[in-house]
Amino acid sequence: MRVNQLIDSFEEKGDIRMKCMMLLTVAVLLLAGCEYESPLTKEHNIAVDSAVLGMWELIPDEREEPKQAERMMILKYSDTEYLLHYPIGKNGLYYRCYSIKVGGVSCVQLIFIGTDDGPPEKDEKDLFHVISYQLANDELKIKLLNTDLVDDDLKTTEALKQSFLKHKGNKELFTNPGKFRRIKKYN
């Protein structure tokens, strides 16, 4: 089940609150139209950054309290890969992620691996996402690869990489920051 199918299923069930939460999830974290059919690179030999492992919660607007549904768990999957679960709880999405470096630019490539209902259907294409992150003072800022610069209609790794390299010096290469804070102790 892909993200848009997950959102549609909430709409069919009339669960507007859950649909809004999922739309926030999609927009803030990863998937605001930045799905690619090919990976930016197939190499992933950079070691896991242990500083990002753990439980994180979305930093809400000043007027809002954090909600448990807006939590994200990042676990070590292998020496070079992470398992990301967001949002925590029912209807969460799971990704296998790995750090990459392309043209001297560090970022993270993600691949959707499933939901609470299981893995994607066998006939579904793998879809890749690319993000950047900055970690400072127990705050994790995640930005999305800008599809205005690196078009999500590009079909091959080579075309994607060429476009990425063409814009690697652009300060808008990654946009739409979402901020998370580390949860020291959670229920």
Neighbours of 20 (CB within 10 A): 12
Terminal C-alpha separation, the chain: 29
The CA distance from 141 to 107, in Å, is: 12
Task: Report pLDDT digits (tens) over 3-17.
Answer: 444 444 444 444 444
Q: What pLDDT score was predicted for residue 91?
A: 82
Q: Are 74 and 54 in contact (CB under 8 A)?
A: yes
Higher-scoring residue by pLDDT: 87, 187 = 87
Answer yes or no: is pLDDT of 165 > 60. Answer: yes
Higher-scoring residue by pLDDT: 20, 136 = 136
Task: Report pLDDT digits (tens) over 41-99.
Answer: 999 999 999 999 999 999 887 776 656 568 999 999 999 999 999 988 888 899 999 99
Q: Give the pair of three-digit tokens for residue 91.
A: 């209807």
| Phi and psi angles of residue 132, each rounded to the nearest 5 degrees, phi first | -120, 160
Out of 29-33, 35-39, 61-65, the most confident range is: 35-39
Q: What pLDDT score was predicted for residue 187?
A: 53
CA of residue 49 relative to chain centroid, distance:
16
Minimal CA–CA distance to 30: which of 167, 187, 175? 175
Domain ranges of the chain: 3-182
pTM of the model: 0.78
Q: Give the pair of three-digit tokens for residue 29.
A: 């974290």
